[in-house]
Amino acid sequence: MYLIFIALSVINIPIEWLHVNKFMAPLLTETTIVSIENEDLDAVYQSVEQTKSDFYLALGFDEATGTYREPFGYSVTDAFFISEGRGKGLQESLQAVHAHADRLGPEQLALFNDLFEEDLNNGLLDDDNHWAKWKFKHVPASMAEVLLNEIILRVRLISGDLEFKGGKGGGQNQSIVEYATNLDYLVFGDTLKVKSSLANIKATVSIGGDSLAMAEKGDFLYFVPRTTGNHTLTLRGKTVEEQYTFTVLPAQIANREQKAFITYFEGAASTLELGTVISGGAVNCSCDPEAKYRNSTLSFTPGAEGWCQLQLRGANGVVLLNDSVYVQPAPRPYFKVKGLVNGDRLPKGTNEVALEAFHPSVPANYEVVSITYEKLSGTAGDETVESTELSLTNYSGAVWIKKVVAQSGSQLFESDQNFLITIEP
């Protein structure tokens, strides 16, 4: 996430632009007809579209949900555009347009130089790989997708394309949508916000067989999803109609931005605040089958280290939350004998010796499962009991506790210390 913020600040684009204007992607593909007459520009357009398709494949793009793996990671971006040379191929396509300036025309050439000014200043026309690295190195996958859509938009602007195909019956070339937030996808709990360029628009959102009206406030229309999945927004005027498809994704863990470094440990009771948007549901936790969800809080105790998948399903079985946390192994505990007096003695008359395992900064549940000891006033030698305490009835004298074993989750810990204590009658 930090890389996205840095990238956006460097190129002076507000952070909100990334989500609000991702609406341009479906606008370019779903509501327009591609009719580029210039052969060079059309070749570039096709090249970028193919690169985008191949990039989606590398990312593991899921058409049903509109999502892909690690949208904020850049390892796939670096491998695809730099190591595999796809960025260089994209560069060569753009160079071919500039090389045939006579066929492009003076106005389109001037527009090309204007739209690609920064790219030209960073080696677009050079023979090395500087431009590809400048454009895509360490760029998060979601931002790389935006950059590819931006190149597509520039090419089509140069060609004079972007003929609108929406607007049934009216024949107009302007979209009803003047402004939209979250029209590409929403996370459960987000709000779809649309401003129409026309008055008296009837707006509905449908999913399955249900059709819901959008709320109105001033010039804006609002919709808060009640479930996840693909939705269809329909805007109807007197002589025009448009439809847009958007996806509502399961919610994610709340407050992750404010709490960047949350650590979960095996065997430690943990909670997650999910926000009031999810009122209830059935929990499926891969590391704790007894996980509970109550009062907007998911409570669980991880039983194993590694990734722990968390799902919350509504009454209709729809996934409302789908996220995961990484569970660290519980750290080695400290061991102590309870109730010692003066460091090595138990109070007179004590018949039982209780052992404890704990960690001062991790609320993991450590349980002592076995104790190996020797009564120094006797001749029995080492003895082992599977318990948290020793029963020493009718014994007085020194006891050497040689080994203590504790358990937390699936982990066993053996003490690296021993204890010499005195039992007084």
Q: pLDDT by residue for the chain (425 residues), tens digit each?
A: 444 444 444 444 443 334 444 334 444 444 444 556 667 677 778 888 888 889 888 888 776 666 777 777 888 899 999 999 999 988 888 887 777 655 666 777 788 888 888 999 999 988 888 999 999 998 888 888 888 888 888 887 777 654 333 333 344 445 677 777 777 777 777 788 888 877 777 888 888 777 888 888 877 888 888 777 788 888 887 777 788 888 887 776 654 444 444 678 888 888 887 665 566 778 889 999 999 888 778 899 998 888 888 888 876 677 777 788 888 888 889 998 888 877 777 777 777 888 889 888 887 888 999 999 988 887 778 889 898 888 888 888 888 999 999 988 778 999 888 888 888 77
Helix (H) or strand (E) holding 151: helix 141-159
Q: What is the CA radius of gyration of the chain?
A: 32
What residues have CB less than 8 Å from 373, skipping those under 6 apart? 382, 383, 384, 385, 390, 399, 400, 401, 402
The end-to-end CA distance of the chain, in Å, is 65
What residues have CB less than 8 Å from 280, skipping those under 6 apart? 293, 314
State the pLDDT at residue 80.
92
The topology under which CATH files domain 177-249 is Immunoglobulin-like (2.60.40)
Cα dihedral 290, 293, 294, 299, rounded to 10, equals: 60
CA distances from 289 to 64, 94, 266, 320 (A): 29, 55, 14, 18
- From the list 388, 386, 383, the residue with the least C-alpha distance to 402 is 383
State the pLDDT at residue 288.
92
What residues have CB less than 8 Å from 387, skipping those under 6 apart? 368, 370, 371
State the pLDDT at residue 105.
67
pTM: 0.41
Residue 330 in tokens: 């519980």
Compute the distance between CA of residue 351 and CA of residue 346 in angstroms, rounded to an integer. Answer: 9
- From the list 355, 350, 360, 357, the residue with the least C-alpha distance to 425 is 350
Pairing of strands 241-249, 185-187: parallel
Quote the longest CA-to-CA distance of the chain: 107
State the pLDDT at residue 169.
37
State the pLDDT at residue 403.
92
State the pLDDT at residue 5.
45
Compute the distance between CA of residue 43 and CA of residue 347 in angstroms, rounded to an integer. Answer: 89
Domain residue extents for the chain: 2-163, 177-249, 264-328, 334-423
Which ranges of 170-251 would DSSP assign to H, the alpha helix? none
Compute the distance between CA of residue 283 and CA of residue 293 in angstroms, rounded to an integer. Answer: 7
- The DSSP annotation for 251-272 comes to B--TTTTT-----EETTB-EEE
Q: Does domain 334-423 have CATH number 2.60.40?
A: yes
Compute the distance between CA of residue 192 and CA of residue 222 in angstroms, rounded to an integer. Answer: 6
State the pLDDT at residue 252.
63
Residue at token pair 């076995």? 370
CA torsion sign, 313 to 314 to 316 to 320? Answer: negative
Cα dihedral 255, 260, 266, 267, rounded to 10, equals: -50
How far does Cα 306 stand from its chain's mean position? 16
SS3 166: coil
pLDDT tens digit string along 350-398? 778 888 898 888 878 889 999 999 888 877 788 898 988 888 888 888 8
Compute the distance between CA of residue 377 and CA of residue 402 in angstroms, rounded to an integer. Answer: 15
- From the list 283, 278, 230, the residue with the least C-alpha distance to 67 is 230
CB distance 349 to 395 below 8 Å? no
How many CB atoms sit inside 10 A of residue 331's CB? 15
Residue 397 β-bridge partners: 423
pLDDT tens digit string along 187-239? 777 788 888 877 777 888 888 777 888 888 877 888 888 777 788 888 887 77
